[in-house]
Amino acid sequence: MTHISIWGELATVEHTLRFVDVNGVRTRVLQAGAGPDLVLLHGTGGHLEAYARDLAGLAEDFRVTAYDMIGHGWSGTPDTPYTIDVLSDHLIGLMDALGIERAHLSGESLGGWVVAWTAAFHPSRVDRLVLNTPGNIANKPEVMARMRDSTMAAVRDPSDETVRRRVEFLFHHKEMVTDELVNLRRAVYRRPGFVQAMTNTLVLQDPVVRKAYAWEPGWVGKITAPTLLLWTEHDPTGGLDEADMLLSWLPDARLHVIADAGHWPQWEKVPEYLRAHHDFFVLRKDPAA
């Protein structure tokens, strides 16, 4: 499946792109399709275009909602630490604003952390859950430092070189990183006040702050929603040993590993990413079967 552009991916998809007030935070939201609700959450420093290649396929089965999390993309950037509880409250507030009582949730990287926390502490709002390369489950200091340093370098100097290096970190096949994707992220990072917004996001890479929200069996074990762990062979933030940790903590979870992909399987391996979601949400069977 050849990728031409983000607009090319959306050109034939009936969708809406608008801003919604979520408890005073202007929040950028894209919706497409009809059916059961599925909400998609991007990763650290990202934006809803992370799912551009998947929206058409997912909209065949779901009413899909992708959005820029608080402090990300073109959503509002209030000057407060964007800890996991804040990001989760923003998600619940968005669901309230959109009239979504209950939904499937699929989160990538930071988004996976947010949807897991939401499923643990707001179980009545979550049907099924996908944790897509949720990243650094073991809370390794060296991974935190790499994420913090590479992201802040790109925000402080949003040149083609530094931002491209940050985006390439997400890919196993770095040749798939397009100028369009780099320039889109450069535009986000150039927003007024975005250095402070990113500083507020990266508090989660501070071990002291992170301790209150770190992945651990106490809160993860509260997740009752059936959960799919969507891992890859080349995720730079965490290996299959970390997937095994989550499998041992989650009451109802299964693992699907996508070969030949990095941190963004939703971009690198679109057919398999879509099939895994369809099988888990629609067919309700183990996609590895």
What pLDDT digit, counting tens, does each position of 227-281 carry?
999 999 999 998 999 999 999 999 999 999 999 999 999 999 999 999 999 999 9
Confidence grade of residue 285 (pLDDT, cut at 50, 70, 90): very low
Residue 288 has pLDDT above 60, yes or no: no
Please state at what angle helix 141-156 crosses helix 179-189, rounded to 10 degrees: 80
Task: Tell me: pLDDT of 56 over 50.
Answer: yes
Residue 84: per-residue pLDDT: 97
Burial of 211 (0-12, 13-18, 19+ CB in 10 A): exposed
Whole-structure pTM over 0.85, yes or no? yes
pLDDT-derived band of residue 135, with 50, 70 and 90 as boundaries? confident
pLDDT value at residue 147: 87
What tokens were used for 14?
């009936």
Residues contacting 210, CB < 8 A, separation 6+: 139, 144, 204
What Å distances lie between residue 49 and 43, 45, 68, 83, CA to CA?
11, 12, 9, 22
In the structure, what pLDDT confidence band is assigned to residue 284 with cuts at 50, 70 and 90? Answer: low
Q: How confident is the model at residue 101 (pLDDT cuts 50, 70, 90)?
A: very high
Residue 231: phi, psi to the nearest 5? -110, 170
What pairing do the DSSP bridges indicate for beta strands 63-67 and 25-32?
antiparallel
Return the domain boundaries, the chain: 6-138+215-283
**Cα–Cα dist 95/31, whole Å:** 12
Model pLDDT for residues 156-194, shown as the tens digit of each residue: 999 999 999 999 999 999 999 999 999 999 999 999 999
Asked if the 6-138+215-283 domain carries CATH number 3.40.50.1820, the reply is yes
